[in-house]
Structure 1
């Protein structure tokens, strides 16, 4: 088995490095052999698996909810992210798009409060309804159409060699789980992200405003991966500074570089440390412009929310 599965990848150093690592890891007796149980691959989501500009996909869903809360209670404008919503502060959205830890933390905390007391099913129904109608402002695609085709091929390639795949994102775990099975082919338990605590009340589980552990950024990423899998990743992929620690924890690190403003977006904000670390440590870097001959391929999304959950 060779790299022919990676059809959207141009022949070059990035593709060759991936193929060499993956095939060697599956070859018993090779110096780079990795036992099947240890073949854990972890991917960041925003900017690594799908388009994150002009803002992460989840942003519109959450901002709509928070705007409604602010309208009902203007006193919320004293703190972030409500202050940014009230003043139409675009700098806060830019901070979110680069996954600035302070902005993401305040955002995640606001999410916790906004959905406090709702059931698991109620949250998912809201998310499904939003995703069914939401379209990207530039591409006109639904969220599932924003997933990078080369990364879906990489998922299939790794699976063929016995790798277990996980997504670890600073974004909301429960939001990603709405589309993970149909979009990435990943079971829900393989999605790791920032999430609330749940409480069992009157026979159902409801969301609490308290975060379950730290936000899944920076050091939080390998911490969550270890807690979830009992192992650190052997293969990790990310695209910006909040992925550095996860990439450092892996045997093979893949850094996506956004440099194609025709087919996607070209930007460096929030990835300066990641790029410097990649150069220093010899990570494999992926140029969207030069290493991918295709970027997006639309995937269908479930149109109607499920009525089977609580």
Structure 2
């Protein structure tokens, strides 16, 4: 009886330690044993262990940019590649695109001309993302993701995720954090696959969006129609606004990789108590790409300086080349 009692007490103790964060997952196998990893682990342990820095579970919110933070973003944003492939599928229904810009250049592969202005980019995105039902768009995204391959690696785009960041997502959730995507990319495109790949459900995805309207059909069926108008751009100063609207709590941790994430990270760090901002710095030209200040995609200029200047205040610059043992799954 005494042995049984002690065994049950041990079970209760172990359960309590997991629940309170005193004993939780600390394994990040794809991370090298560097200062970046140690500072991340130390922070999580400090806010999940009873003491002066302890944070209640409901307040443990972590937000992640997507492009360049959770998956790759070179040679261009993957959702734009999806849009360009959609135009090729749709061109037989639009003979006018043979002479109409920016469609003519986009279909000919002349992206410099096709993407010369924000107005041209908007035309391409609206043509490929609007004037259809929500179900039609989601299915088109699923079909593309199931077959499309990255132009240089030959991997499916959902295999271009960062293994170390998948481990961070699991690590944080094991320690009582709720994880959100806060991306400049399209919210609906992300919601198609984020749950399967990241374990992040649709309601925890925040992104840019177009206008939609509810349609009640004569036969009693309903659908959501996608309109060729911008609803919200979830980038730069828009990210804190999106966080406030969708989450209603200031994050405890923010992860990003570009100047587009700086406002989100500053918003996170301005809260009370201990907080963490983590920039992923692309320094590995052999296993991925090396870029920062002058990149046409994911430029990290002001953010690089800011993170360097505020390192002692809880900012981390992850050096991809030195801090990660591997980059992609099975890599």
TM-score interval for Structure 1 and Structure 2 normalised by the shorter chain: 0.7 to 0.9
**Residues 82 and 234 (structure 1), Cα distance of their counterparts in 2 relative to 1, 3 Å cut:** farther
The Cα shift of 1:45 comes to 0.5
Q: What is the distance in 2 between the residues matched to 1:94 and 1:265?
A: 22
Given candidates 35, 52, 62, the residue that maps to 1:13 is 35
User: Does the alignment pair 1:25 with 2:47?
Assistant: yes
Question: Structure 1, unaligned stretches of length 5 or more?
Answer: 96-101, 300-310
Question: Structure 2, unaligned stretches of length 5 or more?
Answer: 1-22, 269-274
Q: What is the distance in 2 between the residues matched to 1:39 and 1:92?
A: 45
Q: What is the distance in 2 between the residues matched to 1:38 and 1:221?
A: 19
With the length of structure 1 as denominator, give the TM-score of the two structures: 0.85
Partner SS state of residue 255, structure 1 = strand
Instruction: State the partner residue of 1:302.
Output: none
Please identify, of 201-210 and 140-149, the stretch whose mean Cα deviation from structure 2 is larger. Answer: 201-210
Given candidates 266, 284, 288, the residue that maps to 2:320 is 288
8 A contact 1:50–1:147 mirrored in 2: yes
RMSD between aligned residues: 2.5
User: Does the alignment pair 1:208 with 2:230?
Assistant: no
8 A contact 1:77–1:86 mirrored in 2: no
With the length of structure 2 as denominator, give the TM-score of the two structures: 0.80
**Residues 9 and 66 (structure 1), Cα distance of their counterparts in 2 relative to 1, 3 Å cut:** same
**Residues 83 and 44 (structure 1), Cα distance of their counterparts in 2 relative to 1, 3 Å cut:** farther
8 A contact 2:62–2:178 mirrored in 1: yes
Instruction: State the partner residue of 1:254.
Output: 278
Please identify, of 106-115 and 125-134, the stretch whose mean Cα deviation from structure 2 is larger. Answer: 106-115
Partner SS state of residue 29, structure 1 = coil
Instruction: State the partner residue of 1:73.
Output: 96
Instruction: State the partner residue of 1:54.
Output: 75
Q: What is the distance in 2 between the residues matched to 1:217 and 1:255?
A: 16
Instruction: State the partner residue of 1:99.
Output: none
Partner SS state of residue 178, structure 1 = helix
Q: What is the distance in 1 between the residues matched to 2:240 and 2:123?
A: 21
Given candidates 242, 264, 272, the residue that maps to 2:301 is 272
Q: What is the distance in 1 between the residues matched to 2:67 and 2:103?
A: 23
Paired residues, number: 288
The Cα shift of 1:64 comes to 2.4
8 A contact 1:2–1:19 mirrored in 2: no
The Cα shift of 1:7 comes to 0.6
Partner SS state of residue 195, structure 1 = strand
